[in-house]
Amino acid sequence: MTDSTRTDYLDLDTKDETFLDATELVLNMGPQHPSTHGVLRVILKLDGEKVLGTECVIGYLHRGVEKIAENRTYAMFNPYVDRMDYVAAVSNGLGYCEAVEKLLSVEAPPRAQYLRVILTELCRIASHQVWLGTHALDIGAITPLFYCFRDREEVLKIFEKYCGARLTTHAFRIGGCIYEAYEGFEQDCKKFCDAFLPKLDEYEELLTTNRIWVERTKGVGILNPEDCIALGVTGPVLRASGVKWDLRKAQPYESYKDFDFEIPTGLHGDTYDRYLVRIEEMRQAVRIIRQAVDGLPQGPIMAKVPKVIKPPVGEVYHSIEAPKGELGYFIVSDASTQPYRIRVRPPSFVNLQALDKMVRGLLVADVVAVIGTLDIVLGEVDR
């Protein structure tokens, strides 16, 4: 228990000799703060409004997912991964299922792969919409938030119709998908794609050429490619710095090599470029969904996987391009039904490390913008 009347830390007795004394202001932003996207705590060292340095304190949402994994079977752990990046639960599930499949050396049948791609790309759109809404809210534009959530609702409806859950979907199983696409799935996806593109233009109308938005985001939180790579930053943040690297192209998994899509990149690596990159990624996701729906093959949706999953002794690292960056699973198996060790390489955790470098010398208002542009989900940072 801390005593609320304690004042000794204020060091009240020592009198300052200098007349005008500029001291650092230490501002404790979070863990309860409107724009730290959950329970992130950032300790800011300020000179007036200028940021001299930051320190992130994380772990408030730590649930010990990796420890839980060691006490669950492979199939039982599957729903847990959805709880890490809860705004992009489908991507998490995909990464995990693929990693275990790699360990078992099985491959999901083509139809399952296409279904997975459709759902993952839908999920990418949903995740980016949450990002856009909250990012705009951080910068002070309240309206985009509601627009984004209105349209995200359509994605969630498709998820709900497909697997019964909206947020933590548990849509995939090891070896494929368990649910066949419901009747009208293709039409729903197509309808969503057709309706979504004009809505995307609507967001852009509100923000892209808005002078205040441009002033607030251009030149803020610049990361050059070298820093990005040194800091291990991945995903849209890396691409906005001009590095054309996307795991879907670099090391294609699932059926991504069948589809024709672009990897959007930025030039300056500032907040505005990251915004544009993510907007363009949503367009590309729509493109992928359309191709996948059109080419959806017939056939089984589940590979031959034993009832009790007992992978051979060995270890595997598999990573996918989640909406936030490289999401990797490192699994060590000891030939029992439970994984010996699962390590999750969360994109948000690594990306958050770049915060300090990005906000030095900027103002307090920019810290909020930069936290928003990194697109972190604290569930994934803390696991």
Partner 1 sequence: MDSSLVYEILLRMRHDELFDYCVDITAVHYPKREAQFDIVYILYSFHHNERVRIKTQIKDGEHLRTAVTIWETANWLEREVFDMFGIVFDGHPDLKRILMPDGWKGHPLRKDYPILQQDQEWVKINLGIESGQ
Partner 2 sequence: MIEYIKGYLSSGTTPGEAGNMFWATVYILLVITGVSVAVLCMNWLERKILAHMQIRLGPMRVGPHGLLQPFADALKLLIKEDIIPHDADKFVFWSAPVVVTMTAFTTFLVVPFGRTHAVTDMNIGVLFMLGVSSLGVLGIIMAGWSSNSHYPLMGSLRSSAQMVSYEIAMGLAIVSAVLMTSLQTGTGTLSMIGIVESQAAQHTWFIFKFFPLGFIAFAVFAIAMVAETNRAPFDLPEAESELVAGFHTEYSGFRWSLFFLAEYSAMLAVSSIAVTLWLGGWMRPFPNWLGGTAWDMAFSFLPALTFFVLAAGCFLGTIRMPKIPQFRVQTIGLGTFAALLGFVGLVLLVPGVRVRIQDIYWFVVKVAFFMYLYIWYRGTFPRYRFDQLMKVGWKVLLPTGLGVLIATAIWGLMPQLSAAILGVLQ
Residues found near partner 1 in the complex (CB under 8 A): 58-59, 62, 64, 66-68, 70-71, 227, 229-233, 243, 245, 250-251, 317, 319, 326, 328, 330, 332, 340-341, 343, 345, 349-350, 353, 382-383
Sequence-separated contacts (24+) of 342-346 with Cβ below 8 Å: 342/66, 342/69, 342/70, 342/77, 343/66, 344/65, 344/66, 344/81, 344/84, 344/383, 345/319, 346/84, 346/85, 346/380, 346/381, 346/383
Amino acid residing at 249:
K
DSSP state of 354: T
Residue 365 sits in the site that holds partner 2 (CB under 8 A)? yes
Of 305, 368, 378, 381, the one binding partner 2 by CB under 8 A: 368
CB count within 10 Å of CB 48 equals: 11
Residue 222 sits in the site that holds partner 2 (CB under 8 A)? no
Q: How far is the CB of 166 from partner 1 (least distance, A)?
A: 28
Number of residues that bind partner 2 (CB under 8 A): 35
330 binds, options partner 1, partner 2, none, Cβ within 5 to 8 A by partner type:
partner 1
Terminal CA-CA length for the chain: 27
Residue 152 sits in the site that holds partner 2 (CB under 8 A)? no
**Residue pair 86/378 in contact by the 8 Å Cβ criterion:** no
Q: How far is the CB of 119 from partner 1 (least distance, A)?
A: 25
Q: How far is the CB of 52 from partner 2 (least distance, A)?
A: 15
Residue 297 sits in the site that holds partner 2 (CB under 8 A)? no
Which range touches partner 2 (CB under 8 A), out of 58-66, 114-122, 132-140, 237-245?
132-140
Considering only residues 299 to 338 of the shown chain, the ones binding partner 2 according to CB under 8 A are none
190 binds, options partner 1, partner 2, none, Cβ within 5 to 8 A by partner type:
none
Considering only residues 27 to 86 of the shown chain, the ones binding partner 2 according to CB under 8 A are 27-28, 33-35, 49
x/- map, 175-214, partner 2, by CB under 8 A = -------------------------------xx--x-xx-
322 binds, options partner 1, partner 2, none, Cβ within 5 to 8 A by partner type:
none
Phi, psi (degrees; rounded to nearest 5) at 362: -90, -175
Which range touches partner 2 (CB under 8 A), out of 120-128, 133-141, 192-200, 327-335?
133-141
Q: How far apart are CA 259 and CA 280, in angstroms?
A: 16
DSSP symbols for 43-95: EEEEETTEEEEEEEE--TT---HHHHHHTS-HHHHHHHHHTTSGGGHHHHHHH
Q: How far is the CB of 243 from partner 1 (least distance, A)?
A: 7
Residue with Cβ nearer partner 2 (137 or 342): 137
Contact residues for 21 (Cβ-Cβ < 8 A; gap 6+): none
CB count within 10 Å of CB 182 equals: 12
DSSP symbols for 6-43: --GGG--SSPP-SSS----EEEEE-SS-TTSTTT-EEE
What angle (nearest 5°) sits at the alpha carbon of residue 378, between those of residues 92 and 328? 35
Residue with Cβ nearer partner 1 (43 or 365): 43
Residues in contact with partner 2 by the rule CB under 8 A: 4-5, 7, 25, 27-28, 33-35, 49, 136-143, 145-147, 150, 206-207, 210, 212-213, 215-216, 363-368
